[in-house]
Amino acid sequence: MSSSILFACFLGSLPLVLSSDWGYLPENGPVVWGQHYPTCNEFAQSPLDLDLFTAEPSYGAGELKTIGYRTLHNATVNQNGHTFTVSFKNVPEDEHPMIHGGSLPPGEKFSFVTLHLHWGSDSSRGSEHRLTGYEFPAEIHLVHWNTKYPDFPSAAQESDGLAVAGFFLQVSNQTNVNYAPVIDGLLKLAGHPDHFDVDIGHLSLHSLLTTKGAADHLHYKGSLTTPPCTENVFWNVFLDPINISEEQLIKIRSLRDGHNQPLR
């Protein structure tokens, strides 16, 4: 992969899914994505195995900062045939949650557009990135677009257009009550077509990401992890995992795609 991985330590925080029938089975999985999306065969592709032993310290990047992550917004959950997404609705332009600083281009802000989850068929697998060879049961991605461009679709076409904050999920003996509205919404999606919105009440991004300890993370320049695999993503993958119960993961694994096959 073309970009070096940098380790940022601070003590003080979508996939572009198209309508085509790509997936994760042998006949439509990552091995064949490049046949239809040539960028998927390029050399700055995500995800990576993030090696803590070879990552270089990044002392000069500064802290990755958030704006509006604690603000409550009306949220909806939606299934798109590949994963589920959580989005905010009716948010004024100047009130969208944002990230800035850290390894992002100086002076530029990235606005939140949606979050989604990647998971596996069981808790031995599921995360897209690996951490020094270890695979977590799931990984959450918060997708942002560079506000120097007029809108998300425009930014998604630019080399510096997107930034994703990634967090690993690990199995805990306790239910993560902050995820209850999301999972309850997912259960209501059952039997509905893809792209059907379910209201899940007021939600803040911070409530889904609360972790203990330092906000240590790895950052690098990579790509979308699904077609069209464009290499225009500033990745920030946090090391402190989010706890979630096995029961909650089982409910997530109950989601099915348009062919009535389990999403995973």
* Domain range summary for the chain, segments of one domain joined by +: 6-16+31-253
**Residue 69 is a catalytic residue:** no
- Provide the residue type at 10 as one letter: F
**Residue 149 is a catalytic residue:** yes
Please answer whether residues 64 and 236 qualify as being in contact, where contact means their C-beta atoms are separated by less than 8 angstroms.
yes
Q: Which residues pair with 118 in a beta bridge?
A: 139
Q: Mutual orientation of helices 246-253 and 180-189 as an angle, nearest 10°?
A: 30
**Of residues 179, 112, 166, 178, the one with CA closest to residue 138:** 166
**Of residues 133, 134, 131, 135, the one with CA closest to residue 119:** 135
| Annotated catalytic residue, options 73, 82, 118, 144 | 82
pTM: 0.90
CA angle (105 as vertex; 102, 110 as ends), nearest 5: 80
Full pLDDT tens readout for the chain, 264 residues: 333 456 554 333 334 434 457 888 888 889 999 999 999 999 999 999 999 999 998 877 778 999 999 999 999 999 887 889 999 999 998 899 999 999 999 999 999 999 999 999 999 999 999 999 999 999 999 999 999 999 999 999 999 999 999 999 999 999 999 999 999 999 898 777 677 899 999 999 999 997 654 578 999 999 999 999 999 999 999 999 999 999 999 999 998 876 777 777
Block residue for tokens 């998300």: 152
**Of residues 133, 152, 148, the one with CA closest to residue 230:** 152
CATH topology of domain 6-16+31-253: Carbonic Anhydrase II (3.10.200)
Q: Is 206 helix (H, G, I), strand (E, B) or coil?
A: helix
